[in-house]
Amino acid sequence: MARPIKYAIDHVLEKAALTFWQHGYQATSLEQLITETGLGKSSLYNLFGGKRALYIQCLLFYAKHEVAGAFVILEQGGLPSVLVRQLLNTVLGRISSSNNRLGCLLCNSALDIGASDLEIASQARACLDPL
């Protein structure tokens, strides 16, 4: 009988995304991911297929949880200048209320490895396309 998954996937993705966000893809080691997520190496590979696949899942998780708020604002309709102001106020409020001023994980991804990994660049772009 298979062992039950000890950690909720969203919790793992949140921890891994923060680790990638803080250090970048290239500088994040497998050992850091294991430490931060609490997963063993085999569990990480069984659940996600490896560091790169986990990174892509983190981008999707980030888009779902962080970028989704932008869609809510933009879907309200109204004057573009008002919508842009609301969106910027939301982003600035989030940044100023946090000690982690890490920028946007999707933009960081595009800059960090987007030029050398077309699939990750495409994934980051696809997450932002609806904006």
* Tens of pLDDT, residues 77-113: 777 777 777 777 776 776 666 666 677 888 888 888 8
Q: What is the pLDDT of residue 98?
A: 61
Mean pLDDT of 9-30: 93
Which one has a higher pLDDT value, 41 or 65? 41
Of 99, 131, 77, give the one whose Cα is nearest residue 22. 99
Residue 2 covered by a domain: no
- Domain count across the chain: 1
pLDDT digits 0-9 by tens, 35-45: 999 999 999 99
pTM over 0.95: no
Q: What is the pLDDT of residue 1?
A: 44
Structural domain contains residue 73: yes
58 falls within a domain: yes
- Is residue 45 included in any domain, yes or no? yes
- For residue 56, tell me if it sits in a domain: yes
| pLDDT mean over 32-37 | 96
Contact in structure between 63 and 105 (CB atoms under 8 Å): no
Residue 50 DSSP class? S
Mapped onto helix, strand or coil, the DSSP state of residue 131 is: coil
**Residue 98 sits in which domain range?**
9-128
Has residue 1 been placed in a domain?
Answer: no
Q: Is residue 25 part of a domain?
A: yes
CATH number reported for the structural domain that contains residue 82 in this entry: 1.10.357.10
Residue 54 inside a domain? The answer is yes
